[in-house]
């Protein structure tokens, strides 16, 4: 994989994470969470499409469609899991 593909993937996934943060809000910790989730989901989607041999969503060497879908899945799942509140057990 070439450097321009890595940079394009990084830019697209960062924009997705930042847009999700603008939509859902939160402080700097949430922004960092959304960026990491977006990066992980983006590259997981890209690698999944590559390993399955899908070619319908290619932009050069980048499986853009499944990468964006993976990023969105990770973002929504991470947001949903982050809503859980842990309450201390009373004795």
Q: Give me the pLDDT at residue 63, please.
A: 94
Range of the domain at 24: 3-82
Q: Which residue blocks in 1-91 are alpha helix, DSSP H?
A: 3-24, 28-52, 64-82
Closest of 41, 30, 39 to residue 73, by C-alpha = 41
pLDDT band of 83, cuts 50, 70, 90: confident
Report how many domains make up the chain: 1
Question: Is residue 25 situated within a structural domain?
Answer: yes
Question: Is residue 88 situated within a structural domain?
Answer: no
pLDDT above 90: residue 19: yes
Question: Is residue 13 situated within a structural domain?
Answer: yes
How do residues 29-56 score in pLDDT, each as one tens digit? 899 999 999 999 999 999 999 999 988 8
d(C-alpha 7, C-alpha 80), whole Å: 28
Please measure the distance between the N-terminal and C-terminal CA atoms of the chain and give it in whole angstroms.
Answer: 56
Question: Is residue 91 situated within a structural domain?
Answer: no
Question: Is residue 18 situated within a structural domain?
Answer: yes
Q: Give me the pLDDT at residue 90, please.
A: 79
């Amino acid at each position: 994989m070439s450097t321009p593909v890595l940079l394009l993937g990084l830019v697209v996934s960062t924009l997705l994470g930042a847009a999700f943060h603008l939509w859902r809000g939160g402080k700097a910790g949430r922004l960092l969470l959304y960026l990491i989730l977006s990066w992980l989901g983006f590259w997981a989607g890209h690698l999944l499409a590559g390993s399955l041999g899908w070619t319908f969503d290619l932009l050069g060497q980048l499986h853009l469609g499944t990468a964006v879908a993976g990023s969105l899945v990770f973002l929504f799942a991470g947001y949903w899991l982050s809503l859980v509140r842990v309450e201390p057990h009373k004795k």
